[in-house]
Amino acid sequence: MRGERIEAQVFATWHTDVEPLPFDPDRARELLDEAKADGYDGKITWLDGSDPASRATAQAAKGFLEAVGFEVDLDLVANVQEQIVKVAVDRSHDVAGWGISWREAGPYGRMFATLHSQGNLSAGMPTSPEMDALFDEFQGAESEEDQREVMGRIQAQWNEQVPALILSPTFEYLLWSEDLHGVVESTNSMVLLHEAWIG
C-alpha cells in the first residue's frame, strides 16, 4: 500500500496578527483564588477517552491544572460512544476532550455548527451574540482578505470568551492502493472518486 498524506494545516490562510491567549499560570492561580473566594470548591472533572493518546492528554491536562491549584478527577470512558453521550447528550462533564474540526479549506460550516448559538454540534461550549455576529459577518464577507480581517476579530472574541482550549491539530492520513489513480482529496477525510480508475 502506498500512503497519500493530506498535510496538516494550521490555518495558515486565516492567520492574523491577533495573538491567542498566553500561557500564564500565575494569572490562572489568581483567577482560581478569586473563584474560590466566591465559593467555588476548586474541583474539576476532565472527561476523555481511555485510549493511549487520550489518556496521555488527560494526564497532561491534570498536571497543568493541579499545578495552579485545581483538584482534578479523570473520567476516562471506555469508548467513543460513551464519550459522545456524556458530552453531546447528557452534557455531564466539567471539561471534555473533544474535537471541533474547523477546516482550512472551508471553516464556516464547522464554525457555525460548533460555536454558533443555532449550531447543532456545540456540545455545551459557550456561545454568545458577539460570536454569532462575527461568524455571520465571516460568511457574508466578499473576499478572502475581508474574511481574514473578520477572523482576527473572531480570535479576539475567542480570547475574551474562551469557549475551548485548543491543544493540537489532528493529522489526517488517507491510504489507497498504488493501483488506484485519479483520486481527488477533499476535506473531512473524504476523497472524490469521480475520476478514479484502476490500472
Sequential pLDDT tens for the chain (199 residues): 344 444 444 457 888 999 988 999 999 999 999 999 999 999 999 999 999 989 999 999 999 999 999 999 999 999 988 988 888 788 777 888 887 778 777 888 888 888 898 887 666 678 899 999 999 999 999 999 999 999 999 999 999 998 888 877 776 777 888 999 999 887 667 788 999 999 8
- Show contacts of 36-42: CB within 8 Å, 24+ apart: 41/71, 42/69, 42/70, 42/71
The pTM assigned to this predicted structure is: 0.75
- pLDDT of 5 reads 44
Q: Return the pLDDT at 163.
A: 87
pLDDT value of position 147: 95
Task: Determine the pLDDT at residue 28.
Answer: 95
pLDDT at residue 71 in the model: 97
Neighbours of 108 (CB within 10 A): 16
Kind of pairing between the strands at 180-181 and 184-185: unpaired
Secondary structure letter of residue 62 according to DSSP:
H
The pLDDT, as a whole number, for residue 12 is 74
Give residue 74's pLDDT. 96
Distance CA 87, CA 27 (A): 28
Residues 6 or more apart in contact with residue 160 via CB below 8 angstroms: none
Which pLDDT value is given to residue 7? 44
Q: How many CB atoms lie within 10 A of CB 113?
A: 16
Place of cell 474562551: 162
Domain boundaries, the chain: 1-30+106-199, 41-98
Q: How far apart are CA 75 and CA 97, in angstroms?
A: 10
Report the candidate in 106, 87, 75, 89 with the shortest Cα–Cα distance to residue 11.
Answer: 106
